[in-house]
Amino acid sequence: MKADLHSFESLAALDGEGVRYAVFFTGCPLRCACCHNPDTWHPSGREYESEELARKLRRYRPYFRNGGGITFSGGEPLLHAAYINEVAALLRDDGIGYALDTSGAVPLTDAVRQAVDGADLVLLDLKYPNAKQYADYTKGDFDVFCRFADYLSETRKRVWYRTVIIPGVNDSEEALDGYLSLLSRWNRPEKYELLAFHTMGFYKYEKLGMENPLRDTPPMDAVRLQELQAYLDRRLA
């Protein structure tokens, strides 16, 4: 089986535990207004056979001590769930595990469930806490996301939530209360991290001739982000 891969990032320390090797797939159904990687939305990379990718990933095995491993990211990696399952099977005997960095905006097919079940950890983007904002700022279906998160909770998956904080959209304690209220229907996450909206990907919209819905939005202030993270941590303590 083949998949179109956008890029790789070796020794990425942020996308899961330990030292990671991140694989970025192309294709994403969500079209977030805040996306800083619109160049991943369509196939644009290079196709890899699953065996070829597994061979490449095996080379990084010495770095995966202390809980490290592969992180499948994107784009939306779970659009390629069957492919991930194939690669994971090829790497299983080598003891190489993987994390999924996903928006959860995918239906729960058998292949998606298998990919989730096989993951050591799921990094889940909690985009917006209600159907209205989800529709205003993405092209996804809030119910699809909720069913995905329900499944993670039912299967007691290890989950780290992440939310991008955007000035004027969700940069307030009241907004965080909305996220916390949604979160209360699921198991407590191991971690919930707020990420700053930034403008470093703006040039990609221009280069691709795409409209950037948040072109007039400034980057998120780092100090304010810390305050919001502290508020969230207090509420989750």
Interface ranges with ligand SF4 (CB under 6 A): 28, 30-32, 35, 37, 40, 74-76, 103
**Enclosing H/E stretch for 144:** helix 142-154
Q: Given the complex with ligand SF4, which of 40 and 170 has the nearer CB atom? A: 40
| Other Cβ atoms within 10 Å of 94 Cβ, number | 12
Distances (CA, A) of 160 to 100, 102, 103, 184: 10, 11, 12, 14
Q: Given the complex with ligand SF4, which of 27 and 69 has the nearer CB atom? A: 27
Query: Least distance from C-beta 69 to ligand SF4, angstroms?
Result: 21
Write the burial class of residue 16 (CB in 10 Å: 0-12 exposed, 13-18 middle, 19+ buried): buried
Alpha helices in 184-221 (DSSP H): 202-208
Query: Least distance from C-beta 36 to ligand SF4, angstroms?
Result: 7
29, 25, 30: which is closest to 5 by C-alpha? 25
Query: Least distance from C-beta 31 to ligand SF4, angstroms?
Result: 5
Asked whether 4 and 44 are in contact (CB, 8 A), the reply is: yes
Query: Least distance from C-beta 30 to ligand SF4, angstroms?
Result: 4
Q: Given the complex with ligand SF4, which of 17 and 125 has the nearer CB atom? A: 125
Token pair of 102 as six digits: 């996903």
Say how far apart CA 82 and CA 88 lie, in whole Å: 10
Query: Least distance from C-beta 192 to ligand SF4, angstroms?
Result: 17
Q: Given the complex with ligand SF4, which of 54 and 106 has the nearer CB atom? A: 106
Q: Given the complex with ligand SF4, which of 30 and 123 has the nearer CB atom? A: 30
Token pair of 9 as six digits: 């990032």
Give, to the nearest 10 degrees, the angle between helix 50-58 and helix 81-92: 50
Q: Given the complex with ligand SF4, which of 75 and 97 has the nearer CB atom? A: 75
Q: Given the complex with ligand SF4, which of 91 and 103 has the nearer CB atom? A: 103
Query: Least distance from C-beta 72 to ligand SF4, angstroms?
Result: 13
Token pair of 174 as six digits: 């009241």
Distances (CA, A) of 187 to 15, 99, 232: 21, 18, 16
Query: Least distance from C-beta 103 to ligand SF4, angstroms?
Result: 4
